[in-house]
Amino acid sequence: MLFSAFNTCQNLASVVLEEDGLGSFGFYTLAALYFSLAFAAFLSSALMEKIGLYKCLVIGSFFHFTFVLVNLLPALHKDYPGYQSWLVSLTFIKSMLIVSAVMNGFGAGILWCAFGNYISECATEATKGYFNGLFWFFFMGSQTTGSLIGAFLLGEGFKTTYLYVILASIAIIAVFSFLFVRKPLPHKKSDAETKSDVETDITTPAKITEVN
């Protein structure tokens, strides 16, 4: 659900923002997002150790939601030109787009690290391929569902504002769903895993303590 909203928002960013009167600002927004993600990737593992995997899932998904929500502002600017407020001023919109993009990039860094660790907790050596395949099935499927939502709404002549309201609603539901993620039940190790652990113990050099 989260990536159905985010991927659609990201895919439409450069085109929709240009139509909303922001020119090529969508490209700068995406550049800020992925620069932030690259930087966050270096810190994500340490941060996850500090605050925990499950908090990373919630925080990372919430930052994705904020990016989708902020993209509602330029849509309001375009669809309701008579609405006068600082919320729809181009200066405020550009500032919030950059800020939310940086937050989203940071959130993506910790979210992807948390995803990998959670899948590892759920899977055994025998089932890790299945769980990773299942994850990527739903992740890539989100491109399909999100694109269909966008194609239907914009193709039927709905305002861009309605599209982003729906995407933001989907994203916030996804955020709340992460609050109910629980630690997987411990699984019994297979014979192959037990044998691997024994071999590791045998081949690991003993720790030598120096006695003065």
What are 184-190's contacts with CB under 8 Å, separation 24+? Answer: 184/118, 184/121, 184/122, 187/124, 189/124, 190/124, 190/125, 190/126
Measured distance CA(146)–CA(9) in Å, rounded: 9
pTM comes to 0.81
Return all residues near 90 (Cβ < 8 A) that are at least 6 apart. 21, 22, 77
Q: What is the mean pLDDT of residues 162-175?
A: 91
Amino acid letter at 34?
Answer: Y
Question: Count of H helices and E strands in the chain?
Answer: 8, 0
Q: Which of 56-65, 102-111, 126-135, 189-198 shows the lowest mean pLDDT across its residues?
A: 189-198
Q: Is it the case that residue 181 has pLDDT exceeding 70?
A: yes
Q: Are 59 and 2 in contact (CB under 8 A)?
A: no
Cα angle: 99, vertex 104, 110; to 5 degrees: 135
Q: What tens digit of pLDDT does each residue of 7-62 get? A: 888 888 777 788 777 788 888 898 999 999 998 888 888 888 888 888 889 999 99
Q: What tens digit of pLDDT does each residue of 130-158 get? A: 888 888 888 888 888 888 888 888 888 88
Q: Are 179 and 86 in contact (CB under 8 A)?
A: no
